[in-house]
Amino acid sequence: MKKVLILEDEMNIRSFVVINLKRAGYEVIEAGTGQEALDRLQQYPDIGVAILDIMLPDMDGFEVCRRIRATNKQMGIIMLTARTQEMDKVTGLMTGADDYVTKPFSPAELTARIDALFRRMGGENTASAEVLTQGPFVMNTRNHTLEKNGERIRLTQVEYAIVKLFMQNPGRALSREDILSAVWGREYEGELKIVDVNIRRLRIKIEDDTNNPSYITTVWGLGYKWGA
């Protein structure tokens, strides 16, 4: 389900938005402060659109927008502006927002704006196609990031490519040759050992217990598999 974040400290407006977005078929994540919104976005990296109010208890919506944009260029961002704050629209767009909706707004208007952003982000497959989720792992293939239980794991490009290959082939035994040609390219002439070395390093980064790996398991005589 497409996820939308609503950041609004006024409970009545927020509940109104939540009810209407749920009715429109979205999964809604709520936040009442800027910090809470940033935490939720970490927790749910597959949020496709964020709706940000401007007047908030801890920081203004522009600051939240700026901080989101510092790390995430793809997410759709809609600012909620008051009718009396005409300048907010310009400021909002300057800080990286995609759109704005002026209070008071109708549910249909807000939903239409959100739908438009999801469409612009890439048609049918939108956010879901860019996020691979398995067990505690969430991979964002646009940003090239991997999280385990909401915590970012820093990977090299090669490590990232290996995990992506695994996550796209869960439960399938992959030979060292498979991994080598998928990650390094078919023309790569190096040794198969480089696969093992990278797997060893990856296990240190992602396994709960490196001595008893449960995510990258060994298939004796062949290679490796994602999952037991």
Residues that bind Ca ion (CB under 5 A): 9, 53, 55
In the complex, the smallest distance separating the C-beta of residue 173 from Ca ion, rounded to whole angstroms, is 54
Contact 42, 48 (CB under 8 A): no
Side chain identity at residue 147, one-letter code: E
> Residue 37 CB, nearest distance to Ca ion (Å)?
12
In the bound complex, which residue of the shown chain has the CB atom lying closest to Ca ion? 55
Nearer to Ca ion, 56 or 195 (CB): 56
Instruction: Report the nearest approach of Ca ion to the CB of residue 140 (Å).
Output: 29
Contacts of 19 (CB under 8 A, 6+ apart): none
Residue closer to Ca ion (CB basis): 55 or 173 = 55
State which residue, 18 or 194, has the beta carbon closest to Ca ion. Answer: 18
55 vs 59 by CB, closer to Ca ion? 55
Give me the least distance between CB of 10 and Ca ion, in Å please.
Answer: 5
